[in-house]
Structures are given as C-alpha cells and as structure tokens.
C-alpha cells in the first residue's frame, strides 16, 4: 500500500510539473538549453574516449560523467580526467 501511495505522489507531482512547464513560454527554451548541454557533454566525452588509444585515458559515458561535464563544462571534464588519473592511475 505504501509503495502505491509513493508512486501516485511521484506521478501526480510529475504531471503538475509538466503542466506548469507547459504554461510558461520560456520553459521550452530552458529545456532546450539543458538538452543542448547534455548533447555537448556527451560529444566531448565521446571525443575523449575516441582518442583513448593515444592518451590512455578513458572515461565512461554514463549519467554521472555526462551530468558533471554538462554542468561544469570543460573544467568538469578536466576534473574528471584528473580524478581518474589520481585515483586509478594509468
């Protein structure tokens, strides 16, 4: 019973958030910018992994790394690379 209640609250709040987003005319621009940042972050990580045979540095393409690079940009990519070299090594 408890899980049904939690799922209904989640679905209901998601629908209300969608309704609020559709009523705001700047919401689509905001959503488009988020999608653009995620796409550029994915492309940057893919390019880094493409040259991994030369650099011997490979970062996984998952939600955490894409989210970090999309929020922080190139400094986030450099921070992830430095963290991987520091913790794991080459």
Per-residue pLDDT band at 10 (split at 50, 70, 90): very high
Q: What is the pLDDT of residue 26?
A: 82
CA angle 90, 51, 36 (to 5 degrees): 110
Residues 6+ apart with CB under 8 A from 31: 21
Helix (H/G/I), strand (E/B), else coil: 62: coil
20-47 pLDDT, tens digit per residue, is 888 887 877 888 899 999 999 999 999 9
Q: Where are the domains of the chain?
A: 1-86
Query: What distances in angstroms separate CA 67 from CA 48, 78, 90, one per listed residue?
Result: 16, 14, 24
- Could you report the per-residue pLDDT of 39-86, keeping only the tens digit for each? 999 999 999 999 999 988 999 999 999 999 999 999 999 999 999 999
Contacts for 1 with CB less than 8 Å, ≥ 6 apart = none
């Amino acid at each position: 019973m408890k899980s049904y209640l939690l799922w209904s609250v989640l679905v209901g709040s998601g629908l209300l958030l969608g309704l609020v987003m559709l009523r705001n005319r700047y919401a689509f621009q905001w959503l488009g910018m988020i999608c653009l940042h995620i796409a550029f972050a994915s492309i940057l990580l893919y390019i880094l992994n493409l040259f991994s045979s030369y650099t011997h540095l490979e970062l996984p393409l998952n939600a955490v790394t894409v989210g970090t690079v999309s929020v922080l940009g190139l400094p986030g990519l450099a921070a992830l690379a430095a963290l991987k070299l520091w913790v794991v090594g080459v």
